[in-house]
């Protein structure tokens, strides 16, 4: 270490109180987000279905793969166990709390790694603060998906490898190897990405032998226990997955790599359109009817990953009045995300430089049989193995942009490791001093405060951010247009205009800016009870920004009408199912409380606003 004793001592007394406060604050944010459905995000309906299967037929779910399933069974079995014992109305919340516990443990292991790599207490405090409040790290530690388990498991294994003593007595050595093997097998039952960790474990064992930390017998033992045995299980699981119709990602070899959906040029270098990410667009940002971020090779891989690391790109932690798949965000939070994505460039650049420096520096040290920086070699080996497992496959996956294979949740363990090595690099520079370390901590605190400011969901009356940049033109030519948001139709476009309605549903109306501040339009729709409404009567509430809430009671098929004042621009109308209380029944994952159709929005002069897809 280059770190001087003076730097080592500065901030040491404050470290533990500070770290405890940082973890406590993080935990408060995570628990708060649970109550605003922060665990609803990508593929939510699919995960609900798999959790139900794992709950009702656990052994079959463990032994077989249904067509289209993307992950091994362990996470959904644990979630299914909670579903079996929890009340049906609250099992998703209970699963979210399980995820929060997993995530909290994972961040504790990350801090354990930080303490072994960074000498300066101030830089250790800065590193754990940034990681605790990175948007992608917070969000995907809670979202219902296998990532909630795979990232903590990765961080545990890396932490355990740091504690692994290659010269320990043989009994302790074997026990440690067995723990690693069991952890890797658990990883394979969680996410197939752990195959890269297994491969890296073999390289790690060879590196221990090459640097003379273990002899040939211990090398053979390690290769058998931590590489061969988990690899056999990984192979068996992958064969079962492929033979029973698991999702194959349609991987193909393009005629030329330049024609790939995401070509090497986009992976390793920037694109002209990358400046777009500084405006912090959401995942479903539309320009001229196209999802602009998802167009092949328009934006570079580094740029969109940076965007997704420093913003809530799927709006998972935003207050969404409709619980739609992509979520909604308010204009204020959108502006805060713009600040975060711009100021975060400094951290992303530092991370890239640190990864390059430590890759070559630690690799050269191992090649020369030096052990002084072997810990950095371990971090780079396992993080790069995970990261490259994703990146190297991108040119061969059709729709790599559109399907979201670039989102940080898939690379979260590696990205967390890369941010840690960035602070290790700062800890090693020659011009360091207590003042520079304090400045780094202050900078990280400022960045984290910006993150926290848009990661605290709460009801708000502010207008929502508009993700479709061309909607104003539709409104101008038609007078007004409307879109319907319900989570049941999140995955497939609803062309027939017949909607299932659970707890909430939204109608976003965009009215043309024609010089008239407010116009009265008539909203009408037809409604009937759904299979989850067992009561003889049901009550809806319809509310709009400039109209008092209106409750509507119905027993059979009924028609609702209401005059609503609409301002120029976007107006959000919310429908709430008031009575009976919306509850998910075991035989109805969609929470189909009511069915709504024939939605019409008519002006006083008889013009009808067309319905367009969200």
How does pLDDT run across 388-413, given as a tens digit for each residue? 999 999 999 988 998 899 999 999 99
Tokens 């004042």 correspond to 565
**Quick one: 478 and 562 in the same domain?**
yes
**Quick one: 442 and 532 in the same domain?**
no
Return d(Cα 142, Cα 175) in angstroms, integer.
32
Whether the pLDDT of residue 6 is over 50: the answer is no
Output Rg (C-alpha) for the chain, integer angstroms: 26
Per the prediction, the chain carries an average pLDDT of 91
Any domain includes 336: no
Prediction pTM value: 0.92
**Quick one: 445 and 512 in the same domain?**
no
Per-residue pLDDT band at 570 (split at 50, 70, 90): confident
Tokens of 253: 């070899």
Return d(Cα 27, Cα 30) in angstroms, integer.
5
Mean pLDDT in residue range 243-261: 77
Looking at the 3D structure of the chain, how many domains does it have? 2
**Quick one: 432 and 523 in the same domain?**
no
Any domain includes 477: yes
**Quick one: 232 and 127 in the same domain?**
yes
**Quick one: 450 and 486 in the same domain?**
no
Whether the pLDDT of residue 249 is over 80: the answer is no
Return d(Cα 40, Cα 144) in angstroms, integer.
7
Sheet holding 518-529: strands in order across?
Answer: 499-501, 594-603, 518-529, 558-567
Whether the pLDDT of residue 214 is over 70: the answer is yes
Mean pLDDT in residue range 560-566: 93
Q: Which residues contact 599 (CB under 8 A, 6 or more apart)?
A: 482, 484, 497, 499, 507, 523, 524, 525, 611
Query: How many Cα atoms sit within 13 Å of 234 on the Cβ side?
Result: 22
Any domain includes 274: no
* Pairwise pLDDT comparison (352 vs 462), residue with the higher score: 352
Nearest one of 386, 378, 380 to 205, comparing CA atoms: 378
- Quote the pLDDT of residue 490: 67
Quick one: how far is CA 19 from the chain centroid?
Answer: 24
Mean pLDDT in residue range 433-445: 94
Per-residue pLDDT band at 248 (split at 50, 70, 90): low
Q: Give percent above pLDDT 70 in the chain.
A: 96
Phi and psi torsions of 255, nearest 5°: -60, -40
- Quote the pLDDT of residue 581: 87
Return d(Cα 482, Cα 340) in angstroms, integer.
31
Among the candidates 454, 489, 520, a domain finishes at: 454
Tokens of 215: 């002899």
- Quote the pLDDT of residue 584: 78
Any domain includes 305: no
- Quote the pLDDT of residue 136: 96
**Quick one: 61 and 169 in the same domain?**
yes
**Quick one: 420 and 533 in the same domain?**
no
- Quote the pLDDT of residue 370: 94
Any domain includes 296: no
Any domain includes 319: no
Other Cβ atoms closer than 10 A to 21: 10
Per-residue pLDDT band at 1 (split at 50, 70, 90): very low
- Quote the pLDDT of residue 314: 92
Whether the pLDDT of residue 210 is over 60: the answer is yes
Tokens 């992303």 correspond to 348
Nearest one of 13, 2, 200, 16 to 111, comparing CA atoms: 16
Return d(Cα 299, Cα 273) in angstroms, integer.
6
Cβ–Cβ < 8 Å for 137, 185 = no
Q: Which residues contact 161 (CB under 8 A, 6 or more apart)?
A: 180, 204, 378, 382
Positive or negative CA dihedral for 209, 215, 220, 221? negative
- Quote the pLDDT of residue 30: 97
- Give the N- to C-terminal CA distance of the chain in Å, as an integer: 55
Geometric angle at alpha carbon 111, from 106 and 117, rounded to 5°: 130
Whether the pLDDT of residue 515 is over 80: the answer is no
Mean pLDDT in residue range 314-337: 86
Q: Which of 142-156, 240-254, 320-334 has the highest mean pLDDT?
A: 142-156
Whether the pLDDT of residue 582 is over 90: the answer is no
Cβ–Cβ < 8 Å for 143, 316 = yes
Whether the pLDDT of residue 330 is over 50: the answer is yes
2, burial (CB in 10 Å: exposed 0-12, middle 13-18, buried 19+)? exposed
The CATH code of the domain that includes 567 is 2.60.120
**Quick one: 425 and 537 in the same domain?**
no
Return d(Cα 361, Cα 408) in angstroms, integer.
26
Task: Mean pLDDT check: name the lowest of 142-156, 371-385, 456-470.
Answer: 456-470
Other Cβ atoms closer than 10 A to 495: 8
Return d(Cα 495, Cα 612) in angstroms, integer.
9
Identify the domain containing residue 516 by its residue range. Answer: 471-603
Whether the pLDDT of residue 246 is over 70: the answer is no
- Quote the pLDDT of residue 11: 61
Any domain includes 49: yes
Nearest one of 502, 539, 509 to 523, comparing CA atoms: 509
**Quick one: 98 and 211 in the same domain?**
yes
Mean pLDDT in residue range 214-224: 96
**Quick one: 397 and 437 in the same domain?**
yes
Question: Which H or E run contains 130?
Answer: helix 121-133
Length of the chain: 614
- Quote the pLDDT of residue 244: 77
Positive or negative CA dihedral for 443, 445, 447, 450? negative
Whether the pLDDT of residue 153 is over 70: the answer is yes
Any domain includes 88: yes
Return d(Cα 289, Cα 507) in angstroms, integer.
19
Task: Specify the long-range contacts of residues 240-247, CB closer than 8 Å, at least 24 apart.
Answer: 240/64, 240/65, 241/65, 241/69, 241/72, 241/192, 244/64, 244/65, 244/66, 244/67, 245/65, 245/66, 245/67, 245/68, 246/65, 246/67, 246/68, 246/69, 246/70, 247/68, 247/69, 247/70
Task: Mean pLDDT check: name the lowest of 347-356, 425-434, 438-447.
Answer: 425-434
Whether the pLDDT of residue 449 is over 50: the answer is yes
Positive or negative CA dihedral for 292, 293, 298, 299? positive
**Quick one: 506 and 365 in the same domain?**
no
Among the candidates 399, 425, 454, a domain finishes at: 454
Per-residue pLDDT band at 193 (split at 50, 70, 90): very high
Per-residue pLDDT band at 5 (split at 50, 70, 90): very low
């Amino acid at each position: 270490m280059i770190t001087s004793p003076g730097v080592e001592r500065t901030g040491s007394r404050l470290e533990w109180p500070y770290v405890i406060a940082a973890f406590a604050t993080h935990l408060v944010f995570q628990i708060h987000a649970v109550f605003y459905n922060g665990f609803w995000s990508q593929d939510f309906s699919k995960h609900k279905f798999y959790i139900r299967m794992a709950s009702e037929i656990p052994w079959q779910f463990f032994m077989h793969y249904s067509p289209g399933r993307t992950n091994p069974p362990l996470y959904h079995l644990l979630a299914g166990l909670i579903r079996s014992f929890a009340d049906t109305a609250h099992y998703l919340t209970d699963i979210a709390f399980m995820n929060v516990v997993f995530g909290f443990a994972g961040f504790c292991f990350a801090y354990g790694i930080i303490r072994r790599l960074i000498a300066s207490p101030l830089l250790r405090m800065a590193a754990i603060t940034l990681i605790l409040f990175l948007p992608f790290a917070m969000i995907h530690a809670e979202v219902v998906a296998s990532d909630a388990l795979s990232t903590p498991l990765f961080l545990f294994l890396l932490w355990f490898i740091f504690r692994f003593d290659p010269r320990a007595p043989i009994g302790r050595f074997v026990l440690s190897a067995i723990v690693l093997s069991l952890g890797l097998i658990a990883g394979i039952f969680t996410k197939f990405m752990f195959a890269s960790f297994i491969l890296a474990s073999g390289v790690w064992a060879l590196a221990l032998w090459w640097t003379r930390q273990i002899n040939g017998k211990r090398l053979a033992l390690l290769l058998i226990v931590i590489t061969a045995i988990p690899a056999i299980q990984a192979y068996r699981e992958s064969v079962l997955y492929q033979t029973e119709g698991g999702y194959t990602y349609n991987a193909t070899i393009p005629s030329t790599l330049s024609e790939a959906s995401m070509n090497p040029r986009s992976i390793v270098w920037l694109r002209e359109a990358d400046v777009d990410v500084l405006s912090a667009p959401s995942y479903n940002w539309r320009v001229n009817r196209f999802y602009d971020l998802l167009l092949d090779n328009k934006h570079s891989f580094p740029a969109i990953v940076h965007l997704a690391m420093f913003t809530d790109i799927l709006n998972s932690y935003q207050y969404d009045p409709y619980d739609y798949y992509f979520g909604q965000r308010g204009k204020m939070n959108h502006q805060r995300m713009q600040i975060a994505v711009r100021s975060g460039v400094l951290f992303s650049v530092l991370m890239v430089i640190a990864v390059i420096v430590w890759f070559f520096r630690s690799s050269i040290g191992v090649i020369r049989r030096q052990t002084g920086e072997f810990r950095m070699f371990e971090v780079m080996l396992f993080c790069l193995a995970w990261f490259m497992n994703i990146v190297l496959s991108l040119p061969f996956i059709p729709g790599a942009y559109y399907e979201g294979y670039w989102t940080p949740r898939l690379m979260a363990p590696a990205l967390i490791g890369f941010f840690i090595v960035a602070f290790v690099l700062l800890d090693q520079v020659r011009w360091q001093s207590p003042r520079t370390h304090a400045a780094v901590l202050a900078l990280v605190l400022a960045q984290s405060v910006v993150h926290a400011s848009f990661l605290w969901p709460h009801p708000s009356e502010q207008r929502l951010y508009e993700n479709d940049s061309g909607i104003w033109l539709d409104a101008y030519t038609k007078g007004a247009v409307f879109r319907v948001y319900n989570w049941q139709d999140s995955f497939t476009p609803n062309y027939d205009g017949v909607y299932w309605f659970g707890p909430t549903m939204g109608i976003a109306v965009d009215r043309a800016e024609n010089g008239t501040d407010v116009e009265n339009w008539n909203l009408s729709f037809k409604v009937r009870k759904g299979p989850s409404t067992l009561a003889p009567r049901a009550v809806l509430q319809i509310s709009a920004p400039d109209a008092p809430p209106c409750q509507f009671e119905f027993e059979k098929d009924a028609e609702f009408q209401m005059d609503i004042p609409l301002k120029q621009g976007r107006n959000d109308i919310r429908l709430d199912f008031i009575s009976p209380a919306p509850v998910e029944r075991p035989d109805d994952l969609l929470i189909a409380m009511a069915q709504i159709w024939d939605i019409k929005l008519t002006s006083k002069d008889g013009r009808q606003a067309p319905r367009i897809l969200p």
